Amino acid sequence: MYWFFVLIAFLLAGIKTEKPKKYQKVSVIIPAYNEEDTVAQVVEVVKKVSFVDEIIVVNDGSSDNTEAEALKAGAIVINHETNKGKGQALYTGYQQAECDIIAFIDADIFNLTSKKVEAIIKPILLGKTDITKTKFARESGRVTELTAKPLLNFFFPEISFEQPLSGQFAARKEVLKKINFEKDYGVDVGIVIDADVLGISIMEVDIGAIQHDMSPLEDLNLMANEVVRTIIGRANKYGRVTMIDNIGYYIRMSIVGLSLVILGLFTIFFVKIVPLLVGVLISVIGIILSIYYIIKVILKSIDMFRKTPKGNLIKSFIKIHFPMIISVIILLLMISTFIGAAHFENGVLSIEPNSRNLIIYADTSTDSAISVRGPYTIDAAIENESYQIRMPSSAMLTLSAKVNDTIEINNEFYTVNETRDGEPDTLRLPIEVKKSLKVEDGDIIQDSRLKEIFEGSIITHSHEKDNSTFTEKFIVSSRSRNATTFEVLINNVSIADSTGIFNNDSSYNIAINGETVYTMSNLENISFINDDGNEFRIIIKDTNTTSIKQFVNSNQDNFLNFYI
C-alpha cells in the first residue's frame, strides 16, 4: 500500500503545471506611462507565474499614480523624471534586470493571464529559441498593416511575421546585448530586424486575444513615423537600400542581358525573317551585358554579406534575385534543349530544333562555315518542270550544290533551281525523284537527313571565275574526315578551292572540254599544259578535312572537266 501512494504522488508531480524545471532566472519588464488603472493588475498576473524571479516597472515620467500602484502590487519601480519613450523605458529596465531571461509586457493590457505570460517565456526556458515575440487577436493594427509590413516586405522580405509590432516579447539577456534599442515606438520592429539580420533565433507565439486602449489617431501618426524611421534606418545600416537600389538596378540590367541572349537564340532558330547575323549580334550583346551585370550583382551581394557576417539574408536574396534566377533558368533550359538537339559528326556540329537548324562546320572550305538551315517541306514539282529540282539555298549548301548544277538520280538528270518566292523552305521534287528518294509530299526533312536522302546521287557542280569554268563530279555520301582540300589554278590564277573524298586505290580523270587529258593515280600536286599552252595546276592543301563529296573515279567519269 505504501508503494501505491508513492506511485500516485509521483504521477501527480509529473502532471503538475506550476513550475517547469528552472535553469535560468527570469525578469519581467513593464514599461508604463500613466497606466494607474491597469499596471497593478498586470503586476499581479505576472506574480502568479512561478518561474518569474523579478518584476520591474519602469515609470516613464507618468503624471498619475502609476508608481504608487506598481509599488503596492509588489513590483520594483524605476522612475524616469520625464517621458523618454517606450524604447528607452525597455532599455532602462533591461539594464537594471539581474536575470538571464527578460520578458517585456505592456502595462495597459486588460485581459492578461498567467498562461499568456508563460507562453511568451517558456519557449526560451525550454531552449527552443533565443527571442519570442507575440501575435494576438486585436481590433487595431493599422500601423502594422499600412506601414510596417509594406516596408519590411520591401527591405526585409524574409521577415514574414503576422505582427512585427506586437509589443510583448522575451529574450535571453546575452542576445539583447547585440540589439540596438530604439528610444521610441520603433523599439519593437528594431528588435525584430536586428535579430533577423544578425541570425538570432526568433519565434512568433500566439497568446490569444489582447484587450487594451485604442490609441488615438495622433498617437498612431507618431508611432507610424517612428516605425518608418526605424525600418529605413535599419535598411540603410544593413545595406538593404543598396540591395534594393544598386543591386536592384544591376539585377534589372542582368535580366535585360539574359533576355537579349534568349531573344537572340530564339531569332537564330525560330524567326526566319530575321537574318542569322542579327540574331548572333543580339545574343553577343546580351551575353556581354548579362556577364557584366551578374558580376556586379555578385560583388554587391558579397559586400552585403560582409556587412552582416552572421546574417540571415538567404530568403531576402532569393526574393530579390528571383526574376534574375528565373531568367537564368529559362536560358539554361533553352541551351539544354539546343544541346539535346545537337549532332556532332566528323567535325560538323549541327543543332537542329524543330524549326531551323544551325550548322557549324569545323573547316572553312565550304561556301558558308556557319548557316541556319531547314527543315524542308517536300512538295510536288511545278508543272512542266519534270526535270528540275527546286531547293532552298541552304539545302544546296548542305549538298555542296548550286543553281544550274546537275543531279543524277536513278540514271535520270535533273537541273538544280532555286525555290520560288514565298517558299523559302520548300523542296519541290518531280514524281520520279520522290519515288527514288522514298519521300512524299508534306514530309518534313531535317537538314541532317538531307544528305542521307540524297545519298548515292551524282552531282555535277560548276565553278566559275572570270572567263574560266570547270565542273567537278561527285557522289553524295556519308560525311567523312578523310576528305582532301585542293586548290585549282589556271595560268597561276586561283580559280577555286574544293574539298572531296579520294579513294587511295582509285584513279581520277581530268578532262578539258570533255576529253580526258590527265589521270591522277596518287594524291599529289600536279601540273600540265594543254595544246593551247594553258597551264593547269592542282595543289593539295589538306588531307584531313570533312566532306560529303565522293569524287567519281576514272571508271565512272571525269571528276574534273575544264571548259576553255
pLDDT of residue 309: 45
Neighbours of 422 (CB within 10 A): 6
Q: Contact at 8 Å (CB) between 263 and 286?
A: yes
pLDDT, tens digit (0-9, with 9 covering 90-100), for 88-129 = 998 999 899 989 999 999 998 888 899 999 999 999 999 899
Q: Which fold has domain 22-237?
A: Spore Coat Polysaccharide Biosynthesis Protein SpsA; Chain A (3.90.550)
Q: Contact at 8 Å (CB) between 53 and 27?
A: yes
| Percent helix / strand / coil, the chain, rounded to 5 | 40, 30, 35
pLDDT, tens digit (0-9, with 9 covering 90-100), for 389-446 = 999 998 998 899 999 999 999 999 999 999 998 898 899 999 999 999 999 999 988 8
Burial class (CB in 10 A: 0-12, 13-18, 19+), 276: middle
What are the backbone dihedrals phi and psi of residue 146, each rounded to the nearest 5 degrees, phi first? -95, -20
pLDDT, tens digit (0-9, with 9 covering 90-100), for 309-325 = 444 556 556 666 677 77
CB burial string 247-275: b at 16+ within 10 A, e below: bbebbebbbbbbbbbbbbbbbbbeeeebe
What is the rounded distance in angstroms from the CA atom of residue 391 to the CA atom of residue 10?
96
pLDDT of residue 20: 47
Q: Write out the three cell numbers for 235.
A: 535598411
Domain boundaries, the chain: 22-237, 241-340, 357-453, 458-563
What are the backbone dihedrals phi and psi of residue 352, each rounded to the nearest 5 degrees, phi first? -130, 80
What are the backbone dihedrals phi and psi of residue 176, each rounded to the nearest 5 degrees, phi first? -65, -25
Q: Contact at 8 Å (CB) between 130 and 124?
A: yes
pLDDT of residue 134: 86
Q: Write out the three cell numbers for 356.
A: 531551323
pLDDT of residue 546: 83
Q: Which helix (H) or strand (E) holds 360?
A: strand 357-361
What is the rounded distance in angstroms from the CA atom of residue 157 to the CA atom of residue 60?
34
Q: Which helix (H) or strand (E) holds 487?
A: strand 468-490
pLDDT, tens digit (0-9, with 9 covering 90-100), for 16-48 = 444 444 558 999 999 999 999 999 999 999 999
pLDDT of residue 186: 84
pTM above 0.75, yes or no: no
Q: Write out the three cell numbers for 205.
A: 507565439
Q: How high is the mean pLDDT of the chain?
A: 83
Q: Write out the three cell numbers for 422.
A: 514565298
Burial class (CB in 10 A: 0-12, 13-18, 19+), 296: middle
pLDDT of residue 336: 78
Same fold, 22-237 and 357-453: no
pLDDT of residue 163: 77
Ranges of the chain with pLDDT below 50: 1-6, 15-21, 140, 309-311, 363-366
Q: Contact at 8 Å (CB) between 540 and 479?
A: no
> If you classify domain 357-453 with CATH, what class do you get?
mainly beta
